Amino acid sequence: MSQKLRNLRHSIKIAKVAARVILAAFLALSITGIAEGRQPSGAKMYRSAEYRYKFLPPAGWMRKTDMPKQTTAYLGPEENDFVVNLTVTVYTAPVKDSDLEQFANGLKIDHGVVSERVQTKLDGHAAYTWRTKLTIPGHPAAENRQVVCVYNHRAYELTMTTPLGLMKAKYDSVFAKWIASFGWLPPSAAPYK
């Protein structure tokens, strides 16, 4: 088997794990409500020195501090018994920049219907974006917008989740502003391998 094929299979395997993590994060965040492990956002720039990114969370949103190390989450207003949220998830297994398309194609979201999938840029780097309608048994129907990008050999997934019907009506501009604020910090002395 060629190295390229092994790398592609590895990227797809990572994407499948990523889909499970997304579903778990969605479930954890959507039922959180007013929870422990929250810090208020005074609209200060969030920086991840370890994962080399920064962004400006929406003003008034609270940082959920009890998430896994590779996930940054902010909780917004409660809408229809659902806490609107955004997350940045970093997949730490190495991914080549050239594997972005295979990685994005390998993301399958359980109980989700993906639409409007297009290529885009995230702070100047190639990325994919899409919308997903989620219908998870026992949970309120929801929708999200996502952007996936590979930077410095890691896959980054940015997700905002709202109750079904509110993304386009109320939160598209919040999502756009959040994505526009996202930037890469200069690489550390030793790039991730």
**CA distance to 21, 71, 112, 157, per residue, from 48 (Å):** 20, 10, 29, 14
Contact 59, 41 (CB under 8 A): yes
Contact 36, 127 (CB under 8 A): no
Question: Who's near 58: CB < 8 A, 6+ residues apart?
Answer: 41, 43, 74, 76, 86, 174, 177, 178
> How far apart (Å, rounded) are the C-alpha atoms in residues 130 and 117?
4
Residue 48 corresponds to which tokens in the numbers above? Answer: 């991840």
What does DSSP assign to residue 18? H
Out of 17-26, 134-143, 175-184, pick the least confident. Answer: 17-26
- pTM of the predicted model over 0.75: yes
Tens-digit pLDDT profile for residues 146-174: 999 999 889 999 999 999 999 999 999 99
**CA distance to 9, 94, 133, 187, per residue, from 46 (Å):** 33, 24, 28, 17
| pLDDT number for residue 43 | 63
> How far apart (Å, rounded) are the C-alpha atoms in residues 162 and 157?
16
Helix (H) or strand (E) holding 17: helix 3-30
From 21, 155, 160, 27, select the one nearest 94 (Cα to Cα).
Answer: 155
| pLDDT number for residue 130 | 94
Handedness of CA 163, 167, 170, 171 (dihedral sign): positive
Q: Hey, which bits of 124-184 come out as E strands?
A: 125-134, 142-151, 154-163, 183-184
Instruction: Kindly list the structural domains of the chain, giving each domain's residue range(s) and its CATH number in brackets, ordered by start.
Output: 3-184 (3.40.1000.10)
Tens-digit pLDDT profile for residues 89-148: 999 888 887 888 888 888 778 889 999 999 999 999 999 999 999 998 988 899 999 999
